[in-house]
Amino acid sequence: MSDRYQSLTNTGFGKALSSRVGLPVPPILERHEPGRPVVSAPVLLAGARGGRLREPASEVLR
């Protein structure tokens, strides 16, 4: 799904216009694609003693 404001502000003209009027320029975010890792950097995963979610979360992040 595209965002028209983001598309506009990520063009040369849109960047110049938005900076002149003080509007924020939203960053382009990476989207998850099937088959690629969920995260691209090391993750610190912790959980409560006796918790049930640490192991399933660890499996998802592998």
Give the separation between CA 31 and CA 44, rounded to whole angstroms.
21
State residue 26's pLDDT score. Answer: 85
- Write the pLDDT tens digit of every residue in 12-62: 999 899 999 999 888 888 888 898 888 888 989 998 999 999 999 988 887
